[in-house]
Structure 1
Amino acid sequence: MAVSRSIIPDPIARQPWGMLIPLLLLVAFGAAVLFSAAGGSWDPYASSHVLRFGVFLLMAAVIASLPRQFVRLMTYPAYVVILLMLGAVEVMGAVRGGAQRWLDLGFMELQPSELMKPVIVVTLAMFYSSLPAGLTTSWRALFIPAALIALPVGFVLLQPDLGTSLAIVFGGGVVMLLAGLPLRWFVAGGVAALAAAPLVFFFGLQEYQQRRILTMFEPEADALGDGYHIAQSKIAIGSGGIFGKGFNNGSQSHLQYLPEPHTDFVFATMAEEWGLVGGLFVIGVFVIILRWGLNVARRSQDRFGSLIAGGMTATIFFYIAVNLMMVMGMAPVVGIPLPFMSHGGSSMLTNMICIGALMMVNRWNRDTPRSGLAD
């Protein structure tokens, strides 16, 4: 061991390879699935997928190098800037597919709501790390963070983007739970949400969103309409069996029966060709990544780092859980891509920010002896 450490440069040896190697394998597997989804071509999906991951991996390395005091200093300004960008989307945002979610920066189109997912985690971690322990059960511990969540969610719902809104709420809610707020508050909030669900369904959701929820319960009732996505996804997954039909031999995606085979339903594309074995590999890698993130949170030497790591892990988990339930017909189709496999820059950006933040907290843990959870 001593010889190997002397041969390998210390900055390389100190990286969390137990997480990075499975992640690299997952991205490579995703590129193979996207190659097949394009009919056996690297363009337009697989090549850009690998390129984006390379760029965002460098970005994650930069995030991982940030010192704790710099992150604390920039947290609230970053939240305000992205909130202003969300407001700008409503005024001058680019419209695609009937949704107004993007800012055209000339060299790229940016979706500010994606940036808010990790930023809300760091913002609430900053708030609770600065809050005296005795005030954790006070009104300040509940209403100020709730307002910090509600402001961006309000803008995102106007776009409209229900999936991203839920992701922001979930990430923020997990940080609030980990911060030690009384469990009864969450139970009361859950009961209130259930009571308000009928009102939200009939008066808060648009017609297409209502149809997506109803279709989840009985997709076969409109198999050629609103239930088409889920029905074809189930067919693709089921037809793969244990070992799949073989690489580049998927009929559902190649014959264009499966909608969005390279984005939201990439897991169905994979399962048809690689079967149960491929699905277990993908889920196994996700388990490794999530377990590593939870370990980073547990080993954190202060409240700020612990809450960041817990919230970032929860954000990645939200993407994974919702996408997998969606493609299996257990959740409405809400446009949540599968991390590190789906083609799309916005999703890759968000999840690699989360990975970079986890690597950052992991470095803090390594460089600073554990001294409790007080800042």
Structure 2
Amino acid sequence: MSSDEPLEIDGSTLEGGGQLLRIAVGLSALLSKPITINNIRAKRNPPGLKFQHAAGLRLVADICSARLEGNTTGSRTITLHPQVAPQASLAYTADPGTAGSIALLLQVSLPCLIFSSSSTSPSSLTLRGGTNASHSPQIDYTQNVFLPFIQKHFGLEPTLQVVKRGYYPRGGGQVHVSIPPVAGPLPSVTLTDRGEIKRVYGKSYVAGLPKSLADAMRTAAIDTLVESGIKENRIKIESLREKPSDAVGSGSGIVLWAETYEGCILGGSALGRKGTDAAHVGREAARELASNLDHGGCVDEYMQDQMIIFLALAQGKSRVKTGPLTLHTRTVIWVVEQLSAAKFRLEEAEGGAVVECDGIGYVPPVPPAPPTHVPGETSIST
């Protein structure tokens, strides 16, 4: 296959959903490798691109000046031809026009922007859509678990500001992200000792609904965490009602995160649903966090797959202890190995695994130097 011929990726492989698409497109842009993805979201109903996926593809194409084919809602095949590596830091915007997940728009674009060709100025992202959407990380998870994780372990320092909350079905949320670029490769990570729990934090929220629902979620979450063995004096969960000016639509939910003495951060969350008791939602989030703590791994089930691309781009050998490997994680590993020279080894045992990766030590290409004027030469314009 020539360097100009797209690598074909079967979008129905393993998990067969949107994350395969996001990781493949992000790596394609970063490594300047053209790809064609067929059978997009083949294991979802309905299959094909949704507005959110199309918005993420347009964003990545903008970042790397790509030629993008097939990017229409419902499409099951796209081709991306990156023309250049991610460019000097600029301001970018993405808006699916729906309540599609803002967190997933960040997921597809972040790896590209941390390696933009500027070594000084941060890139700016304005992302619109749903801040707290189903089947995706809540923006509070991104803000309090994912971003602190990549800052602590990879030295990355994106900052995120929630300007306005947006809930299903209207969307209308807005988030600003500032992403300073890095000049060299990311460091490898060794994270195999979770350590004892230092503190559990959380946010129980409602918008356009009575605050008593947030209080009920908070109380139920605390009771459930205490039942799981966490001391109550180590639990600090905020309960709040969003101001009408700070949110579009109505919604509710709770996000929890545990910090350990060894620097691990693990989360658990749940969204409120019509007809579902608020206390049940609080217990659901607490049980998810307790489950992520019970396996003794250093990352939760959501960080498990989100960290893979960063391990692949890092320099040297990384080792991270996880809980049982998810299908999402296996899918991301498969995609990364199709598009890069990164190599993964999985040491699986009952109740957990160790993910080992030989990273590629990616560094952004050096932008061409501007032409210099040689003394004595005359410049003639025509």
Confirm or deny a common fold (TM above 0.5). no
TM-score normalised to structure 1 length: 0.30
Q: Which has the higher strand share?
A: 2
Larger RCO (alpha carbons 8 Å, 6+ apart): 1
Q: Which has the higher helix share?
A: 1
TM-score normalised to structure 2 length: 0.30
